[in-house]
Structure 1
Amino acid sequence: MMRDAEKTIGNLIDKQGVSYIASISEDGFPNIKAMLPPRKRIGIKEFYFTTNTSSMRAAQYRKNPNASIYFCDKRFFRGVMLVGSMEVLEDSENKEMIWREGDTMYYPLGVTDPDYCVLKFVATSGRYYSNFKSETFEIN
């Protein structure tokens, strides 16, 4: 069992250059997509990503907020899946919070670009895999 889940998992997440997010399609199947790492995380409970407002993923989360995110450390063959819900945010406060210089490459109209939105993931539980063992944990 992990001594400090938040520290162990937080360290794993912070060292990854890729994150994976999963949504549910209209026909009920999971859809997984590789993304850049979260722009912001609060512990292992809240994660903020950028995406296009017009994206398939944003549309799927609006219809069904059930989601999971996954981080994998392939060097040490360990990973963590977090399960929870994803919200599509379009308010200026959240958009400005995670905006970075250079984002105009993706969102040419800047932080107010109508095709720029924030995905906020809130975890309720997780499953950590390391040393050929898995453990499930709740997130409060």
Structure 2
Amino acid sequence: MKKNIVNLAENLMAKSEVVTLASVNEDGFPRICAMANVKSEGIKTIWMATGTHSKKTAHFLKNPKASVCTYSGGDSLTLVGNISVISDKEIKHDLWQDWFIEHFPKGEDDPEYCVLKFEAKEATIYIDEIFETVSV
């Protein structure tokens, strides 16, 4: 059963254009943002783009603990894990999307452009009325 529900969760994530991302702020409170799901690798690794000087980037540099969630038609997936702030030029180039130019006018080399790499440790899945929490 676990393998099947994980496959369903991977399909849910692959179809999710937007996810919510939670960081922990300087006062220890969760801070949730809607983010574009730039790329997902199953449910283990989720990639997002943001600003180098954003609040969430500052949070993750101090505390890499994070949560990502997606929802569609009654099905949901909540992941907990860690975020890395990535500024590697090759990775940024590989993940660049044309619409990013609205946020990063200097393009792929914009110093404000960075990538967040979320790596899940645990998944709580609710799909087709089946509820399961699994290690990732």
Structure 2 match to 1:91? 88
Q: State the aligned residue count.
A: 136
CA apart distance, 1:2: 4.0
Distance 1:59 1:2, change over 3 A: same
Cα separation, 1, equivalents of 2:64 and 2:52: 15
CA apart distance, 1:133: 4.7
Bigger fraction of residues in helix = 2
RMSD: 1.4
Which segment is superposed worse, 13-22 or 126-135?
126-135
Identical-residue share of aligned pairs (%): 37
Unpaired runs of 5+ residues, structure 2, are none
CA apart distance, 1:31: 0.8
CA apart distance, 1:119: 0.2
* TM-score, structure 1 normalization: 0.90
Structure 1 match to 2:98? 101
Kindly report structure 1 stretches of 4+ aligned residues shifted beyond 4 Å: none
CA apart distance, 1:34: 0.9
CA apart distance, 1:96: 0.7
Distance 1:4 1:72, change over 3 A: same
Cα separation, 2, equivalents of 1:132 and 1:5: 11
Structure 2 match to 1:59? 58
Is the partner of 2:43 in helix, strand or coil?
A: coil
Unpaired runs of 5+ residues, structure 1, are none
Is the partner of 1:48 in helix, strand or coil?
A: strand
* TM-score, structure 2 normalization: 0.92
Cα separation, 1, equivalents of 2:133 and 2:68: 15
Distance 1:10 1:131, change over 3 A: closer
Which segment is superposed worse, 49-58 or 123-132?
123-132
CA apart distance, 1:132: 4.7
Is residue 13–residue 42 contact of structure 2 (8 Å, CA) maintained in 1?
A: no
The equivalences for 1:100-139 within 5 A come to: 100-139=97-136
Is residue 2–residue 8 contact of structure 1 (8 Å, CA) maintained in 2?
A: no
- In the alignment, structure 1 residue 32 sits paired with structure 2 residue 29: no
Is residue 40–residue 47 contact of structure 2 (8 Å, CA) maintained in 1?
A: yes
